[in-house]
Structure 1
Amino acid sequence: MKIEFRKGRSLFWSSALLAIFGTTSVSAQSPSFPIAQQINCDRPQGDAQVRTCIRLRYEASDQRLNEVYKQLISQLSGEERSLLSEAQLGWIQLRDKTCEFEVYKSRGGTGYGGFLNECLDRMTKQRTAELEQYLKQR
């Protein structure tokens, strides 16, 4: 999710928006079609199915990240909660810009969406592991 805040917006509202919208990148989302549920992602047939499976894998990773984030933020209070919320917003921007840079040369190509989702998936899994470590330390 790409969230941009005007200068002067309170941290309360920033935290509230992050809690409402989670951590999904809007630019990487696309509607899930019923046909996607019929695809065997262990053996995708053709490029379109491969791209769909990559997107579904990223969406599952993002959902897991949201679950871990909500679990962690529920254990925090006050300044810690605000700091994590602010850090997560910054991380979302870092992830999205890093992945856009990483796949920049593929823009306009048929594989661009797949490459972008692979990067988003990889970085999302890394962030989930980081947040899980914070949970273990609590």
Structure 2
Amino acid sequence: MKIELRKARSLFWSIALLAIFGTTSVSAQSPSFPIAQQINCDGPQGDVEVRACIRLNYEASDKRLNEVYKQLISQLSGDERALLSEAQLGWIKLRDKTCEFEVYKSRGGTGYGGFLNECLDRMTKQRTAELEQYLK
């Protein structure tokens, strides 16, 4: 029994090491190996690309929100800065919980992540517009 167990362990580790080093060596030998496929969000093909584009849209909106927030907070005094910071943290919690509620019935489905990111994107764009008004 011990011999069979040792053989099984040895075989497991041999396969595991082969998988690790085999994958690494193939990647290392192929400098043109694509890390990620480029997605055309002007005309996504299939559900996977649609969901990826929705996620990318949200990430871009979140990046823009952070830029506007940093620009605004740099113009404020200490008390105003503290109030905006507190308000923004509260808004993030509100946004996240609102979107979780909005897509709650979709949880467990294949579209859940996309629906969630659409909500996050929409609310983030709204918040960005609100903060931009304070810059005027």
Q: Same fold (TM over 0.5)?
A: yes
More helix by share: 2
Q: Structure 2 vs 1, CA of residues 114 and 81 (structure 1 numbering), >3 Å: closer, same or farther?
A: same
Q: Structure 2 vs 1, CA of residues 120 and 59 (structure 1 numbering), >3 Å: closer, same or farther?
A: same
Shift of 1:78: 1.3
Shift of 1:12: 52
Q: TM-score, length-normalised on structure 1?
A: 0.73
- What is the CA–CA distance in structure 1 between the aligned matches of 2:75 and 2:11, rounded to whole Å? 18
Residues 23-72 of structure 1: per-residue CA shift (max 9 Å, x gap): 99999999999766611001000000000000000000000000000000
Tell me how large the CA RMSD over aligned residues is: 16.7
Structure 2 unmatched ranges of 5 or more:
none
Which runs of structure 1 show a deviation greater than 3 angstroms over 4 or more consecutive aligned residues?
Answer: 1-37
For the pair shown, the structure with the greater C-alpha radius of gyration is: 2
Shift of 1:75: 0.2
**Conserved 8 A contact 2:61-2:124:** yes
- What is the CA–CA distance in structure 2 between the aligned matches of 1:2 and 1:89, rounded to whole Å? 58
Q: Structure 2 vs 1, CA of residues 40 and 89 (structure 1 numbering), >3 Å: closer, same or farther?
A: same
Deviates more, 1:92-101 or 1:35-44: 35-44
Identity of aligned residues (%): 91
- What is the CA–CA distance in structure 2 between the aligned matches of 1:76 and 1:9, rounded to whole Å? 63
- What is the CA–CA distance in structure 2 between the aligned matches of 1:16 and 1:52, rounded to whole Å? 31
Shift of 1:6: 50
Structure 1 unmatched ranges of 5 or more:
none
- What is the CA–CA distance in structure 1 between the aligned matches of 2:3 and 2:135, rounded to whole Å? 25
Q: TM-score, length-normalised on structure 2?
A: 0.74
Q: Residue 69 of structure 2 aligns with which residue? A: 69
Give the secondary structure class of the aligned counterpart of 1:108: coil
